[in-house]
Every structure is written in C-alpha cells, then in structure tokens.
Structure 1
Amino acid sequence: MELIRRYLWLVFLLLGMIGFLVVWFAIPREPEIEKLWHLYLKLASYGCILGFIAFFPNKLKYGYLLVYAPFIVFLGYLIPRVSFFGVTGNVIVTNFETVGEWYTLLYLLVVQMINFSVAFAYRMGGGTPGKTIKISLLATITLFSGFLDLAFYTINPVEIPEGGLIYAHHIIVFLGHAPSFNETIIFALCHIPLFLLVVFAPLDKWFERISKRVQSRGKKEAAPVITS
C-alpha cells in the first residue's frame, strides 16, 4: 500500500500523458463526436490527469513553483494560438470595432480569472499568504514581460510585422516606441531579476513580523492604566 501511495500519482501521470498524446495527434479536432471511443478516451485522460493532481506529493520546499509552471504553457502557447485565430479569423481585420471587446475578454478577464482561480485554489489547499501572492505575481510578470508577444511570432505561422516592429502596447508605454523583435527579447530578459526577486522575497516572514507588531501594539493599547 505504501508503494501505491507513493507512486500512484506517477502512474496517473503516465496514463494521462499517453491519453493526451493520442487525443492531440490521433483524434480529429472537430466539435462533433464522430466515434464514441473518442469521448471515452478524452474522459479517461481527464480522469488520469485529475488523479495525478490529486495524489501528487505536495510537501516540496519550492513546490509552489509547480503551481506556476502551467502558466508557461498557457501564456507561451495557448493564448498566443487563440490570439492568432482571433487575428487571422478576421475578428480584428474586418471587424476592428470589436477588437477592444475581444482584447478585454481574452486578456483582462480570461487570463486574470485563471490567475486568481489558481492562486485561490492554492490558498484553499493550505498555501501560505506569501506563496499565494508569489504565484499570482509570477504569472503577471510573465504576461507583461513580452514572453507572450515573442511566443505569438514564434509558434504561429506569421511573419514579424513590416519594419520588424512589435506593437505591444504594454511595452510601448515603457519604451515610448514600438520595439523590434530583438528589443522585445531584451525587454523580456530584463524581467528575470524581477522574477527572481519575487521567488526569493521572504513575504511570509514579513507578514509574520507585521502581524506580531500589530498584535503587540494592540496588547499595549488594551492594557489597563493603573492610577493612584
């Protein structure tokens, strides 16, 4: 039983990954369910991945960084691909009036709701306040670092805009001009120190000290005054 308890998560992971690969490469990406086994395989893969998450050993020193890890895939692949289909699907090209709504829904609501949902789930699972904040901050730093903008032109079949400029407004507001592809790379790399600063910042210790000071001050104020 001890062996099963220790490695059950790994079994689920392997089965889930095999199922995912079959679904990704062997099943047509269509909304219709052509064969019933397609549905069964998708549900089985989901169940295995969920089992991996549920039984994963969570007593690791820097385990909270694994909670951040999916954001790399999310911001480095999924969102750039969704953005690509939004652009090439004429959401922006032929219906420019809706671009603000499209941008708001995708980047300000979907991305941030996933950010907050992951952070809240970690906190509800027993995560400390400091590490909970770190998870959300690391995801936000990644989002605005230029990583996503670079990924858009790397994983999608599109060329860098004419003149080699990337019109990322969250970068333009800092540089004062549209950056080139190479400038965007440098801009992204400049976020590494900020990333590491967040990872190693002793937030929980700071919160603990602040809490003790507040409690100590509260006790002093509540102490009875003895007069002769």
Structure 2
Amino acid sequence: MRAETVSTPDEQRPADSGQGEEPSFLRANAVTLIAGTVAVALAGIIWFGLPHEREIDSLWLFLFKLTPFAAAGVAIGWLDLRWARRLRLQLVLIPAAFLAFFCLFVPRIFFYRSIPGAEHYYTILTLVPFIILALVLAYRLGGGSRPTTFRLCAALLILQLSGLEDLAFFVTNPHPGGWASVPAVWDWANHIRVRLGHYPTREEAYVFIVAHLTLALLVLFLPGRVSRGLRVSRGLAARVRGRRERGA
C-alpha cells in the first residue's frame, strides 16, 4: 500500500507553460531572491552603517531596523518548496543557520560580555530575530504553508517587542522578593519608550505586555477567512461612504 502525500496550497499552482513544464529556479524563486537580497542589503546598512547603541530615540529608526526582518520573512515565505526539495536545501540552510549562531553570535557574546559598552546587548538584540527567522525557515523547508510562515514571523516578532523578556528577567531569576522586585518604572526599556513616548510604569508595562500577547495570539489563531472577511467589510464600508459623499 503506497502512502499518499499532501501538497501545500502553494505547491498546487498550475504550470506556467501550456506544455506543463515547471518554472525555472530563478523564476520560481524570484520573490525569494529579490527579498533576500534586500534583507541582506538592509542588514548590512544597519550593522555597518549605524552606531551600535542600547538606546533608540527615533520611532522611524526603530521601524527601519525591523525592515531586514520583514524582507527576510517575505523571502522565506515565497521559497518554492518543490525546488527546495529538489536541491535538498534543508540539508544546507538549516546547518548554515546553526553555524551562524554557533560560530558568529556565540563567540561574539562571550567576547563582549565583560567589555563595557553596548556591543554585548546589541549582539543579543540582533540574535533574537535571527533565531525567529531560523525557526520559521525550518518550518517552511519542512513543507509549511506560506500564510502560516507569515503568521509565525509576525507573531514571534510581536512577542519579542512585547516586553515579556524584561518581565521574565525579574520573575524567572532568583531575585529577592520575586514579583515585588519588579521596578516601579522601567527606565531601561527603550523599545517601549520609543513607542509610548516615555518610560513605562510597572502597570503600563503590564498592560503593554498583555496587549502584545493578545495581538500575537490573534495573529496566530484568527482564522484566515475571518481576517479576509474583515478586510472585505472595511472595503465595502469605504465604498459606501464614498458613494454617499459623491451623492452629497
């Protein structure tokens, strides 16, 4: 008895030519190659062209530093699975991601951990999105669908930016007092300050974290048909308002 395989929706697209020939590697992975090149270029600009600082004062700079992650997520999501299997990319890209972590990030963390300055912090700050992308890449190479790939990218980034790790520093480590050791004002949380306009109080930070956790859960579990329905409803409402305004 032969086992049946189930293909993902993005594997089920029709062939590009009338003779049923599959598209070439470059054509099938055009979006991946372009987005990947953009991601590398943006990452290079940020790593080599911008100062490695702990604090960030500009919301626009904060958003700009997220662009390599967004471009890399698009590149992973549009990776053609048939070509990935044919080239056995899972045997190349997953070990490459591990070696980048093990031979680049880990030595750098050990080197800068006792040196004053922001390099140790900045290295870990860069490592976390890399881990997210590596996990999502492994999911995609294993046959994961494109929509879920994008969901995972967005949800995990939201969790990284939620402030949950700042809270976990106090409640998972053996600080005297446990929850009572959480400061009244989080005057180190620059990633929250740049969005709120001020350092959050403890209560504001809790609300901020809960809001981000809720958003991440919605991104992960909100059915696609519901989100599509919401977009269609907003589009219809906008057209109705436009007609009323023209009629007036």
TM-score of the superposed pair, with normalisation by structure 2: 0.40
**Structure of higher CA gyration radius:** 1
TM-score of the superposed pair, with normalisation by structure 1: 0.43
